[in-house]
Amino acid sequence: MLTLPVNPPRTSNSLILSGNLENSTLEQYMMYEFINTHNCGFCYHQISNKYFNNPKVTHLLPLQPFPSTQAKRKFKTKPYTMSQGEDNLCKELIHWREMKMIEEDLDGNDFFGPQIIMSNKILYCIIDLTHYFKLMTTTSLLEQTGWCYSMDYGPEIIQLIKAKVLFLVPQPLLRY
């Protein structure tokens, strides 16, 4: 029966995987690291492959962890009063959406209408984000709205935003 130490001293990844420990000590450390692998900085497969003497399995594993696939955080808007510029932007986006339908030859689609290009939800999301100055690039448009046509029509939308809404230029802080 294997007895695990209550709190064995921490060993580095290289010490365990190099095999420079005695068999009984190595077994205890490997079992401890395998059980507590969520606290380790390396993959638990490496521990089990070393323990079972199977070195060929992990030679293709990446040395660094995969990049996060978690989406960027979306900005949560608070209720506000729409300014004249934002109202003009709303009207201009609706007009742009209708013109884009004619340009793309989608004006015969009575089921979806102009929402086939840009839904009302995305349109109002763009206006809300513009109020808080969160849309400056097409990348931010894609990250914040999740609009599937952000990369196609994004530059046009950003130009409309810059033309219709007055952006305040931040003043530098003066220190005396």
Domains of the chain, residue spans: 81-166
Return the higher-pLDDT residue of 76 and 108. 76
94 pLDDT above the threshold of 90: yes
Domain 81-166 has CATH 1.10.150: yes
At 42 the pLDDT is 58
| Predicted confidence (pLDDT) per residue in 2-51, tens digit | 454 555 555 555 455 555 667 777 777 777 766 766 665 556 666 666 66
At 35 the pLDDT is 72
List all residues 6 or more positions away from 54 whose beta carbon is below 8 Å from its beta carbon. Answer: none
At 174 the pLDDT is 65
Return the higher-pLDDT residue of 132 and 109. 132
